[in-house]
Amino acid sequence: MSDSGDGYAHPIDQCDVVNKEALKQFRQKRRQWLISLKTDEHHAISTLISDMAWNDVSFRTLWRITELDPNSALYNPLLAETLIRGHFAIQILAIRRLMDKAKSTISLWRVLDEITRNVGLFTRENFVAYDGLPYDYEAAQQRVMLAHLGNGAFWGARSGPDAHHSSQRAHEIFDRLAGVDPLRRSRTDQMPKAILRRLVAWLVACDANQLVDWSHAFLAHAADHGSRQKIDLAATEPTLDKITTVLRIFVRVTEALLTYVLFDSGHGMIVPVPQFNHFDRVASPLFAAGREKELRDHWDRLAKERDGYLEGTLEALIAP
C-alpha cells in the first residue's frame, strides 16, 4: 500500500472523517508520538523499557546464582561491587530519561503530557478512521460480503476502507475508553481526559520521582550537605524492588498509550529473546587457578599508574 507522504497509507481526503483539519493535526501529532514511543533510532521509549527489563531479569538471575551456590565467584567483593553499582546506575539513568520533563527531550512523561494537552484531537472519527478505515463498519462489511458473494472464502482486509473488522474493534475500544453506549455513538465523541490523568497518576504513584530525586543528589550530581538534608534518604534510596515496580508501571503506561490511546500495535513482549547462549560458561571458574599473581600484578600496575596522576600537579599548575 502506498504512503501518503506523511507516514500514513491513505491521504486525508480518502479518510472517512468529516473534520479534515482536525484529522490533519491528529495525524501529525500521532506520528510524532509514535516515533518517540517506538521508532526513534536513538531514544525510542519502548526500546529503553525493554533494555530495563533485560537488565532487571539479567541481574536478578545473577543474584539467584549467589542464592543457589554459596561458593559462587559472584561473592568476590570486586565482582559483586562492580555488578551492583553498574546495574543500579544504568537502571536509575533509564528512569531519569523516561521521567525527564525538560523540553526537546524524548521521555515517557513528555509524550504523556503532550497527548494530555492535545486530548481534544481524540474524537471517535479521528480514532477510528485516521488512516482509511471505514467509520461505518457495518456498511463496509455488507459491501465487502456482496462483492465476494459466490466466490468462496477470502482473506479479509486488515487496513483500508474494506477493513470492517479493524474498524469495529476501534469503535469497541473507544466505547470502553469513553464510557459510551454503542447505541449512542457519535463522530464527535471525545476521549475523556480522565483516562490520561489515570496514566499520569500511575507514574506519580510509583517510586520513579523519588528515584530521580535520589539520582540528582547522588548519581547525576554531587549535592552539597544542605541539599542532601532536603532528601529523605531512607525513602528515596533505590532498591531492586523499587526499580522493578517502576519498570512495571512504565510497561503498563506505554502499553496503554500504544495499544489503546493511539490504537497501534503494542509491545507483544517486553524482555528481548536472547540471540546467544546467555548461560555460556556460567558453570566455569571465573579465573583459572594458579594465575592469581598475574592478576594481582595487573591490578597493582593499573593502580600505580593512576596514583601517578598526582605527580607534578603543582609544577603543571604554575607552569608559564
Q: Where are the domains of the chain?
A: 12-273
For residues 52 and 246, the answer to whether their CB atoms sit within 8 Å is no
**pLDDT of residue 96 exceeding 80:** yes
Contact between 56 and 247 under an 8 Å Cβ cutoff? The reply is yes
84 vs 155 pLDDT, higher one: 84
Q: What is the mean pLDDT of residues 94-101?
A: 94
The confidence score (pLDDT) of residue 66 equals 86
* Least-confidence region, from 110-124, 125-139, 166-180, 242-256: 242-256
Tens digit of each residue's pLDDT (9 = 90 or more) over 215-230 = 655 554 444 455 545 4
The helix, strand and coil proportions of the chain, stated in percent and rounded to the nearest 5, come to 60, 0, 35
pLDDT digits (tens, 9 = 90+) for 254-304: 999 999 999 998 888 888 888 888 888 888 877 777 888 888 888 888 889
Reported as a pLDDT band with limits 50, 70 and 90, residue 5 is low
DSSP category for residue 272? P
Cα gap 259→177, rounded to integer Å: 12
End-to-end CA distance of the chain: 70
Higher per-residue pLDDT: 187 or 277: 187
Phi-psi map region of 238: left, alpha, beta (phi>0 left; psi -120 to 50 alpha): beta
**What stretches of 17-44 show up as alpha helix (H) in DSSP?**
20-34
Beta bridge partners, 252, equal none
The cell numbers describing 94, all together, are: 533509564
State the pTM of this model. 0.85
